[in-house]
Amino acid sequence: MDKSKLQLYFVMGTPNIGERDPLAVLEGALKGGITAFQLREKGEGARVGAELKELAEQCKALCEEYKVPFIVNDDVNLALEIGADGVHIGQDDGVVSEVRSKIGKDKILGVSTNSVNEALAASDAGANYVGVGPLFDTDSKEDAGPAVGTELVEEIVSHLPGLCLVGIGGITEGKASKVIHAGASGVAIISAITNGENIEETTRNIKGRITLALTGVEM
């Protein structure tokens, strides 16, 4: 997988944005420079059934317009039904090799991990990238678990230097550089973008930090 597509990976669902229009939030983030988007529709008030499918199709169309990969969280059947670019699963959401077989070799497959062994297993089973975290304390995911720190990123990279790896969990604009310097291909962000008053400007500022970090500039 092209690692540049993972530099600023935006994760969002309607429970993350209050009363705002999810498509307006997504478009602001796309204009601001996100490089991948994952629809993660979970939690109280999350859309289901036909409403979820409609939202997913609308998000997919926006991502296509900006030439950004569109990933569906967990729901493999939905991802296949609407022709998403890929799917992201957690450790309890399916067997990685079985999901890979189901979606085929050309779709993107991401897997959440929080240990070296889980990252190695996911890579061996056909994952294109792993999400590692939570790196810092976060309120965006109720089941996130304790923070593991950027040291885990460094450890995984030392074992699998070619693996595409995205840090996730409590990453703010100020912490994005630290994650990149630890060896991550990019950062996955929810609240640092959705909490911004101006989504496009907030996203652009975070993207700037990541770009500087990838060129070796300390911030």
pLDDT tens digit string along 19-68?
Answer: 999 999 999 999 999 999 999 999 888 999 999 999 999 999 999 999 99
Which candidate in 5, 40, 107, 209 is catalytic?
40
Report the range of poorest mean pLDDT among 80-94, 127-141, 180-194. Answer: 127-141
User: Is 112 assigned a catalytic role?
Assistant: yes
Between helix 199-214 and helix 22-32 the angle, nearest 10°, is 40
CB 109: neighbour CB atoms within 10 A? 27
What percent of the chain is modeled with pLDDT above 90? Answer: 87
The domain defined by 3-214 folds into TIM Barrel (3.20.20)
- How remote is the C-alpha of 20 from its chain's centroid? 21
Compute the distance between CA of residue 47 and CA of residue 54 in angstroms, rounded to an integer. Answer: 10
Q: Count other C-beta atoms under 10 Å from residue 91's C-beta.
A: 14
- Angle at which helices 116-124 and 150-159 pack, to 10 degrees? 40
Token look-up 């950004």 returns 68
**Domain extents for the chain?**
3-214
Residue type, position 185, single letter: S
For the chain, the average pLDDT equals: 94
Q: How far apart are the C-alpha atoms of 170 and 189, rounded to whole Å? A: 8
Q: pLDDT tens across 134-164, in order?
A: 999 876 655 557 888 999 999 999 999 989 9
pLDDT higher than 90, residue 168: yes
Q: What is the mean pLDDT of residues 180-204?
A: 97
CA dist., res. 52 & res. 50, Å (int): 5
pLDDT (0 to 100) of residue 216: 77
pLDDT score for 142: 59
Catalytic residue among 60, 107, 112, 209: 112
Catalytic hit among 141, 178, 207, 209 = 141
pTM of the model: 0.95
